[in-house]
Homo-oligomer: A and B are copies of this chain.
């Protein structure tokens, strides 16, 4: 048995199929993929990787399995799925996921091919596990899939505490031991036992606070948008790199590829030197026409060209960043109340409130080099048909109370 020291869970014991999986290239690659992508531009200590997170998820899965008294092959399968749940991530984790999905039709949790092939497939079969069944668990399918990917999964329990530990932001400090101890299967559904409405709420609240402070901090969003744009140009400019190749890169591969390709040299230099675009527009949801919110990728690229045109600047100098509508997975986590299964949103007034908060935190952004901010901002307001109040950054910065995050490095 291997014992691995982890800065979050202390000693993690790894054996059986998990130990053999650890030595596969697919898992070792995760050592070179940052858990939070560009968030380290905001929180410089946030350099943790998908590898240590995978170990943590495996560790919590083992505890959950023991508590739920799952045994034999079924247990082995869940452990393998926990360890492997993130092997499908591309460089910089979620940062490029929308891009690669557009071109491959595949999200990071679609790992049927990855698990069937190569050393991972061999290890699974050596341990008498069917790769497809493990991949189903990773996709959250079936009863035990809920443990690996669902509203009450061990993935969430690990990343909230781990991201809190590494960013230094205390809001993610939930109590995984408490959560695990209260898990149960009722009628095939993973639920929290009686008396845990508040336990479920704590998970919801932790994510709701980490979201604007960490995951969607404006600087993390700007740098992510720049990275995504650069990666898209790379795919278009370099015949040797297609979306599937990109998805199998690690962070180092991508950084160096962007440096070497002429079409991405400028964005790459900006990212390397943290010479980031600034917000020309930062608009609330009510200020944005529905057509813009629902625009697909092609439409967004078109808007960008129109804005650039209207502002008289180069196409490359404008990035339009339209987040999807807010959602809250945890709202449907299940809790036993008076002997019946209830979805958290039926039970807790917090769900609705946090949903409202998410809407009020939603922002459309238009990013551009600092010196073009005014021109691009005005053009964007016109082209997108934004309600001008609360959209322009000059106004934002003088106090509309919407920047609810640590102003680190923001200027």
Verify A349–B348 contact, CB threshold 8 A: no
The yes or no answer to A51 lying at the interface (CB within 8 A) is: yes
Chain B residue nearest to A170 (CB atoms) is B173
Interface centre among A177, A195, A335 (most CB of B within 10 A): A195
Verify A168–B403 contact, CB threshold 8 A: no
The yes or no answer to A321 lying at the interface (CB within 8 A) is: no
Contact of A25 among B28, B273, B405 (CB under 8 A): B273
| Chain A positions 11-36 with a Cβ under 8 Å from a chain B Cβ | 11, 23, 25, 28-29, 31-32
Verify B168–A171 contact, CB threshold 8 A: no
Total contacting residues, chain A, CB less than 8 A: 89
The yes or no answer to A123 lying at the interface (CB within 8 A) is: no
Bound-state Cα–Cα, A285 to B186, Å: 29
Bound-state Cα–Cα, A235 to B32, Å: 24
The yes or no answer to A297 lying at the interface (CB within 8 A) is: no
Query: Shortest CB–CB separation between residue A373 and chain B, in angstroms?
Result: 18
Verify B398–A339 contact, CB threshold 8 A: yes
Bound-state Cα–Cα, A356 to B352, Å: 12
The yes or no answer to A196 lying at the interface (CB within 8 A) is: yes
The yes or no answer to A202 lying at the interface (CB within 8 A) is: yes
Q: A44-B4, A349-B356 are in contact. Are A195 and B28 (CB under 8 A)?
A: no
Apart from the given pairs A8-B45, A10-B177, A23-B274, 11 other A-B contacts in the complex at a CB distance below 8 Å? A25-B272, A31-B40, A195-B404, A199-B404, A205-B205, A256-B256, A338-B400, A339-B398, A349-B353, A350-B353, A353-B353
Interfacial residues, chain A to chain B (CB-CB below 8 A): 2-8, 10-11, 23, 25, 28-29, 31-32, 40, 43-49, 51-52, 55, 165-171, 173-175, 177-178, 181, 194-199, 201-202, 205, 209, 212-213, 251-253, 255-256, 272-275, 335-339, 342, 347-350, 352-354, 356-357, 360-361, 398-409
